[in-house]
Structure 1
């Protein structure tokens, strides 16, 4: 008889290997349970990603997003504040800021169509120009106070340059000025004098009023300025002499211009006391004004006409683009941003 107990394993079975496999299967299940629990705990402890103003889209212009960060920065520009200080704006401010951003987006989109870009050298030149208005480290300090990082500021600078180049490209192809238009404008404009009337002035500066009066008397008596200075100074110090060159009425103090321009060439002014100094001004030559010729006036006239035509053409282009643009606005976000609205 077969003894009772554990049944014999089936033919071909390996009891040791079978137990090991069972044990390993248990370990796999146990490790899997631990991993699931760890992942669950990790997912519970992880905070949701923080949404910033740069992530919030307030409008789309032909599919291109306009962010809340951009809108707040534009409102700050209108209010004359730093972007970090702005949380809301009046209804007109919000409306004006959004319109600016929509128009800017359309100009930038046109720039992309025309293949316009900003090179690194152009960006660096613009950054250098801005830095020149600040002492060393002053730009970084100002940006820090406004809550703007250097990378963000450079990005804004690049966008500003790109907008400028794109706008110039749009306006440039819409404007042309002919020679006849320039001549007609020249005939219709008041005649200008070029250059304005000028006098050649020399200033004699004395230690005392008595020395100045003696020299002036000798000049009025017919002595040359050099001879008058030599005789009139006596044993005292010679006056300091400054050649001021050709000056217009606008270059001189108001109290002197009328007197000096009334003098003939070779004339001497009265003795003038200014800032603890005593002076005589000599008029040594004169340049009369004359009418500006067409050749002299043409470059400025052409530029003025071209600027006006570009502005008019750009406005017309923008009106047409605004009429055709697909603009979608998140009104609820704008309402929250507007003062006095809930």
Structure 2
């Protein structure tokens, strides 16, 4: 079990502050709620004595922090292969395959990314949610960042909340687009289906913004790029459906089979065989939470998505002008 030890003096500039506020300022690597929990447990002392969160400080007092990082998750480790794009002592960046669930839950008690991460690094059990700070849907492929230390976890969560992590996706949608745009529409749980999200009024949903642009147009579909300003559940899937362009293969949001007139046998086979939403997290960029170094990563398009796009290109190339939708 990891033990954290720090000693410091309350800065004179904090005179008159509550102790919990001073602690948050002195130890920014840890969340305020965690510091308060340690304080209440007696793991933090002020001039060698117990203190309370509301206690006022004068500045110059000696603070000692000695706390054990307890196990946060009890999920069993499993030897599941991971595609690690980058790793250092503070974080991992990995390329998640389609079909891999991120967290255990109803219907998926094991065989998840969390199981794999705990096998790769047992210390992740000491971090909230095993170091996972954001997620991808089961059938979405692509890049994720995972914290490996409490300081990195706190910083990454804060960066995500401030929208300081750039997340870029590519998707294949139903219908042909002429240009890009922005969808600014709140998202909340669907009123009639607990598995789905839906565009809601601002009072009932969470603010959500997706920027998109057209990359390539086929006869009945488009390849687009999406950049998230926020990170709501199913955001791209919900927003694209909202503007009338659901993702190809999406089982929840209406990405059904759509064939252009005279579709090639290869395109028919590719569309019938594509059993997931056509969505890939292709780029991730952020400032390293500890070193502040700019970092940028990309993940190649997975084979199944490449086969689908190639079939659409070939079909469009061989079609007559009148057969375009």
Give the TM-score band, short-chain normalised.
Answer: under 0.3
- Give the alignment's TM-score, normalised by structure 2: 0.20
- Give the alignment's TM-score, normalised by structure 1: 0.19
Whose strand fraction is larger, Structure 1's or Structure 2's?
2
Higher relative contact order (CA 8 A, sep 6+): 1
Whose helix fraction is larger, Structure 1's or Structure 2's?
1
Instruction: Indicate the structure (1 or 2) with the bigger Cα radius of gyration.
Output: 1
